[in-house]
Amino acid sequence: MDDDIFDVMEWIRYAQEDYDAAVAMAATNNPYAPRKACYDCHQSAEKILKAYIIAKEGTRKKEHNLVTLLKQCSQYSHDFDGLRAACLILNTHIAKTRYPSGKKLTDSDMEEALGEAAKILELTKSKLTEMGFGS
């Protein structure tokens, strides 16, 4: 198996890049900005939670449900418990990003996703920094 899959710093970098891409997309006037930004917000949250799990366990699950990943993180720190609502919101939005459903994401949804993803990214990065990953 490829060792990069377990490189915590790479997971952190990818998570930050996904969040930065969401912010950049939100700054455009593209009609598809809410869908793309919400997708990248979910990806950012998923990757940063996986970075924490890899740092703690040295392994990763093929899991996309943020609540499930959060439960795994909460086994190591109850600081994650406060992120459940953020994970639920991003899980709800991701379902609308993948396939046509008639339920369009709005600018308000996009702003909400950016805020919730930022909370997850910030807390998880701080926990990883405490463990010696990041700055």
Mean pLDDT, residues 59-77: 94
> By CB neighbour count within 10 A (0-12 exposed, 13-18 middle, 19+ buried), where does 11 fall?
buried
The third-level CATH classification (topology) of the domain covering 3-130 is: Four Helix Bundle (Hemerythrin (Met), subunit A) (1.20.120)
Residue 102: the pLDDT is: 75
Q: Which of 97, 92, 107, 102 is nearest to 28 (CA)?
A: 107
Calculate what percentage of the chain has a pLDDT beyond 90: 83
- Which pTM value belongs to this model? 0.94
Give residues with Cβ within 8 angstroms of 85, minimum separation 6. Answer: 116
Domain ranges of the chain: 3-130
Tell me the CA distances in angstroms from 72 to 33, 68, 81, 103, 111, one per residue in order: 31, 7, 11, 31, 27
Mean pLDDT, residues 70-86: 97
